[in-house]
Amino acid sequence: MINTNKNSNYISGKTGDWEIVIGLEIHAQVLSSSKLFSGASTEFGKDPNHNVSLVDAAMPGMLPVINQTCIKQAIKSGIALNAEINKYSVFDRKNYFYADLPQGYQISQYKYPIVGEGSLQITDANGEDKVIGIERIHLEQDAGKSLHDQHPSKSFIDLNRTGVALMEIVSKPDLRSPEEAASYVKKIRTVLRYIETCDGNMEQGSLRADCNVSVRKPNGNLGTRCEIKNLNSIKFISQAIQYEAERQVEILENGGVIDQETRLFDTSTGETRSMRSKEDAHDYRYFPDPDLLPLELCDSQISEIRSDMPELPDQLVERLISEYGITKYDANVIAEEKEYVHYYENSAKDRDGKLVVNWMTSELFGLLKKNNIQFNQNPISPNYLNELVELIENKTISGKIAKDVFEIMFATSKSPKMIVKEKGLEQVTDDSAIEVFVDQVINENKDKVKEYLSGKDKLFGFFVGQVMKISQGKANPGLVNKILKSKLK
Amino acid sequence: MSNNSKIDLDTLKKLGKLSRIPIDETGSIKLMDDLNKIIGFIEQLNEVDTESVNPLSSVTGHNLPIREDVVDDGNKNNDVLENAPEKKSGYFVVPKVIE
Amino acid sequence: MSNLLQFSISEALFLLKKKEFSTKELVETYINAIEKTKDLNMYLTTCFDQALEQAKTSDQNYFNGNQRFLEGIPLGVKDMFCTLGIETTASSKILKKFIPTYESTVTQNLWKEGAINLGKLSCDEFAMGSSNETAAKGEVINPWNFEEKRTPGGSSGGSAAAVAAKAALAATGTDTGGSIRQPAAFCGVVGLKPTYGRCSRWGIVAFASSLDQAGPITRNVPDAALMLQVMCGYDPKDSTSSNKDVPNFYNDLGKSIKGIKIGIPEEYNSDGISSDILNAKDMTINFLKENGAEIIPVKLPLTKYSLPVYYIVAPAEASSNLARYDGVRYGARIDGNSLDEMYENTRNLGFGDEVKRRIMIGTYVLSSGYYDAYYLKAQKVRRLIKNEFTEIFKQVDYLVTPTTPTTAFKLGSTQDLLTMYLNDVFTVPASLAGIPGISLPIKLDKNKLPVGIQILGKDFDEQGLLNVANIIESCASFKDTPNGAAS
């Protein structure tokens, strides 16, 4: 069988096609009020070293105590990613020196993570479903922030983020293109937002990814991989992977070898580069943190969380399709954000779901984008969209008029009924009124009528157009057709 | 102990690098000797059969205690920065870090 | 007024209540004693003004009849405990001028009950040592035969020496592998290491987290009971702290030990152990027999592996615990042209040789390729040692052993590392198993140096342990005072 799609992911080099193999480590900041092991706030954007406890600053003699919510959030995320929840997990110390790592070690999970293998369904570049394996999810502490641009010879350290809980979600090397990687990250973000375990805010760094990229001849042995650290936008993830894969292909095709290394992505040039501070002797010396004990969960704790799970995006898509009769594509668009779903379900109540989804995804999204307005600033309430569609359904206005009404709604936030009433935009559905328009058109276009009657059927559209024009678009198109047909015999 | 030299100069330098304790040429021979003595001593453990023994990392008998998710700490910039050898505008200051 | 130095905590509390003397007088007497014993180099920092200020409050409380549990008792604090507003260095140069903005839970518990802080006591640097010779500000001199310049033991050498020299009515110590019991034995005082988890570790400079435990060093066993009563208790800030009930240690002293079973492990013996120490053990056995206890010889064959396990586990944890001393947020900083250079300069000059050695060993046993062979192996043997104690305590109630293989040696006399490490050979097993142990003086050896005996008990049975120790103490009637003590 010839597979025509398959090559679209490949990089074609001088020596033939190359396949990209990608695995992602997503660091998702856990939604919680306080940090993983201290009572300091996780709030973003505070003055430097404001949300820092003595524990976070690693003062002598300070000890960690684990946050209940963070454990729950990890379990919830695991369940959402169809993963096994490990009833026994261990917190280890990952030892290394860095200016924004006050303890000299990061508390993480190494051999025994809280969540084991799972999976996530994404849509690949061809619109097909594809299941990506999840290797594990573990809980760990975030590091602080170093500012390097404040002083010529100094770095400034802010520990506000130090100790905030992160979930590291490790995928299997199942991704094959920058698009798939982007789709995977988007989907992870959507899922975590749905279940409210991470706000997914990439600009604030709540969701970041390390990408492991290698290339190989299609279906050949895995190549040596490079890790691109700390990418904080989906665009950068795609760009970095594309650049990195092409870089590797070029090296390999020129007879070179890939050094396994950590690289940084330069957002201004779109290139990846080797880290200057080569941590040559990387040896993290993981060992169980003696300040903590193993985390042991019981079945009831897990099943309680399981029974409390909100609807997940995939389940929702299925429901939207069956309940509202919309296409999978549309359902996926709606399911992308929880607020879309909320909006859609409110505006589609008792209405034709397909009609509503069209209005929402083409007209509404279009206007929002054109006017650069965030969805949550959307001037049209779901009730009014519902009302507008109702006006179309009961033929008070035509689809064409509805577009004008919609624009007014967008500009004024007014109710469509009010707009229609104020502007007198109700559809004319009275036969005699339409007959008047039709007669006028026939009288004013006698030549055309003659041509029509002599067989030029195409002119019918012209007559409809003229009637609509005279009626200022308000005449019911169905009636116009019917009456025109009867008069033009 | 003479037949035991698990830690050679390279290993010693690597350990120094990892622990950020520089190895100076003069002291390294004595340090290496000391460390190898200790390694020789602790290797007595090889005599013990530990087949199918679970490692013990804490003698504590209770389960991991868990904290409610409430903000009851932080907001003490002055305490946190009080002892800092170098600070500016609320930040700790260190020699420039090159990534 | 110097006769006030003779009173134990229980006596002092009784007399203060009777208004025989005031807290102010008691504190002044101790301040004076500290001045007189300066040459023993025990205190790193003193806080006399604060102590006198607190004495006023205590006297007020006695006057009003609302005195607290340890009202007005002047104590010394090992420099491993972080003390609010008072320099805390762990006897290390790297923590020079570190002034905590917080108070450790254990010391806070003491101050809350009216005890008064006289100052911070020297110890081995980061509690790593058995002779107090690794202290940044120089060695402490044992008040026994002080002119011979003997070690007070370590790491809580300053604490044990200060209690023996009457420069504190009692002191806090920390014990990781014997750091309370061994110096207590060398200085002729009582040292109690409680069960792991009995006292909170919050605010104590960490050496080896899975082993560190705070405890009291006192003149006698009842004082140890009083101190422990206040020091211990559940602390939600320490995940390894136990929420087991705290019994009344003091009021339960004096129960009969008739019929209880005392095990004498045959492995707690070593080449060259002095006849005086063996004699002290025999004396103890006789005291116990006289009181109706049953003496049972027992075997703990894994004893000899305790030290090797300890010298893997403790350095491994220490190598990680001490990574935070990097010159960024507190303590000393020696600048450099890069961050790494600054780290290296700071840690090179900030840490002493023993600390560096242990960090290196700890780094080695955790490093990739060696973890299984050393660290994991040690954890497995640790499990076996713990199991061995659990099994033996099904047969007997307590174990009696010498605390140390020798009495206090001369400072500078032990050049060999491993010989130094062997000092802890009898104390380390209990630390690995987490069980409580107490050392108390029985007699003087032929050099007029105190000999200590150790009693070990089951997890959280400090109450019974203190009771047994109390009986032995009464029988031994050890009343000698070192010639270096204040008078």
**C380 in any annotated domain:** no
Q: Which tens digit of pLDDT belongs to each residue from A230-245?
A: 999 999 999 999 999 9
Report which DSSP code applies to A363. Answer: I
- pLDDT given for residue A475 in this prediction: 83
Residues of A in contact with B80 (CB under 8 A): 49, 52, 54, 57, 159
Bridge-based pairing state of the strands A66-67 and B66-67: parallel
Residue A426 Cα distances to A387, A418, A472, C264, angstroms = 14, 11, 11, 104
| Cα A310 to Cα A336: distance, rounded to the nearest angstrom | 15
Q: Which tens digit of pLDDT belongs to each residue from A49-84?
A: 999 999 999 999 999 999 999 999 999 999 999 999
Q: Which tens digit of pLDDT belongs to each residue from A281-335?
A: 579 999 999 999 999 999 999 999 999 999 999 999 999 999 999 999 999 999 9
**C428 in any annotated domain:** no
| Cα A49 to Cα B89: distance, rounded to the nearest angstrom | 10
Cβ of C339 within 8 Å of Cβ of B94? The answer is: yes
Q: Is the pLDDT of residue A1 over 90?
A: no
Interface test with A, best of C91, C241, C339 (most A CBs within 10 A): C339
Q: Which domain holds residue C194?
A: 2-259
A86 touches chain B (CB under 8 A): no
Residues of C in contact with B48 (CB under 8 A): 302, 305, 377, 380-381, 384
**C135 in any annotated domain:** yes
**C22 in any annotated domain:** yes
Q: How far is C89 from chain B (nearest CA, A)?
A: 13
C350 touches chain A (CB under 8 A): no
**C174 in any annotated domain:** yes
Q: Is the pLDDT of residue B1 over 60?
A: no
CA atoms B83, B86, B91, B95: torsion sign: negative
Question: CB-based contacts of C13: which residues, under 8 Å, 6+ apart?
Answer: C70, C71, C72, C73, C226
B75 touches chain C (CB under 8 A): no
Residues of C in contact with B99 (CB under 8 A): none
Residue with tokens 């690597």: B14
- pLDDT given for residue B2 in this prediction: 38
Cβ of B99 within 8 Å of Cβ of A276? The answer is: yes
**DSSP H or E run through A89:** strand A88-89
Q: Which tens digit of pLDDT belongs to each residue from A208-226?
A: 999 999 999 998 899 999 9
Confidence bin at A422 (pLDDT 50/70/90): confident
Number of domains in chain C: 1
| Cα A99 to Cα A264: distance, rounded to the nearest angstrom | 18
Residue with tokens 């049209």: A380
Q: Is the pLDDT of residue A278 over 60?
A: no
**DSSP H or E run through A79:** helix A68-80
Cβ of C308 within 8 Å of Cβ of B44? The answer is: yes
What's the length of chain B?
A: 99
Q: Which domains does chain A have, with CATH numbers?
A: 10-305 (no CATH), 311-423 (no CATH), 431-487 (1.10.10.410)
* Nearest residue to A35 (alpha-carbon basis) of A51, A46, A58, A57: A51
Q: How many CB atoms lie within 10 A of CB B50?
A: 17
> Could you give the ipTM of this predicted complex?
0.96
- pLDDT given for residue A3 in this prediction: 41
**C272 in any annotated domain:** no
Question: CB-based contacts of A112: which residues, under 8 Å, 6+ apart?
Answer: A86, A88, A89, A90, A294
Q: If DSSP codes are grouped into helix, strand and coil, which group holds residue A21?
A: strand
B91 touches chain A (CB under 8 A): yes
- pLDDT given for residue A277 in this prediction: 56
| Cα C174 to Cα C127: distance, rounded to the nearest angstrom | 8
**Residue A347 exposed, middle or buried by CB count within 10 Å (0-12, 13-18, 19+):** buried
Return the active site residues of C.
Answer: 78, 155, 179
Q: Is the pLDDT of residue B16 over 90?
A: yes
Task: Give mean pLDDT, residues A388-401.
Answer: 87
The residue with greater pLDDT, C271 or A197, is A197
Cβ of A293 within 8 Å of Cβ of B58? The answer is: yes
Q: Which tens digit of pLDDT belongs to each residue from A448-472?
A: 888 888 888 888 888 888 888 888 8
- Enumerate the domain spans of chain B: 9-46
**C40 in any annotated domain:** yes
Encoded tokens for A27: 């660091």
Q: Is the pLDDT of residue A2 over 70?
A: no
Q: Check residue C141 and give left, alpha or beta (phi > 0: left; psi -120 to 50: alpha).
A: beta
Mean pLDDT in order along chain C per 10 residues (487 residues) = 87 96 97 97 98 98 97 98 98 98 98 98 97 93 97 97 98 98 98 98 98 98 98 98 96 94 93 90 98 97 97 98 98 94 97 96 96 97 98 98 96 88 95 98 97 98 98 96 95
Question: CB-based contacts of C457: which residues, under 8 Å, 6+ apart?
Answer: C397, C398, C399, C435, C436, C437, C464, C465, C468
- pLDDT given for residue C1 in this prediction: 52
CA atoms C167, C171, C176, C179: torsion sign: positive
- pLDDT given for residue A276 in this prediction: 62
We report the CATH number of the domain holding residue C196 as 3.90.1300.10
Q: How far is CA C302 from the centre of its chain?
A: 24
Report which DSSP code applies to A258. Answer: P
Neighbours of chain B (3+ CB pairs under 8 A): A, C
| Cα A66 to Cα C447: distance, rounded to the nearest angstrom | 53
Q: How many CB atoms lie within 10 A of CB A35?
A: 31
**C440 in any annotated domain:** no
- pLDDT given for residue A280 in this prediction: 55
Residues of C in contact with B53 (CB under 8 A): 380-381, 383-384
Residues of A in contact with C205 (CB under 8 A): 60-61
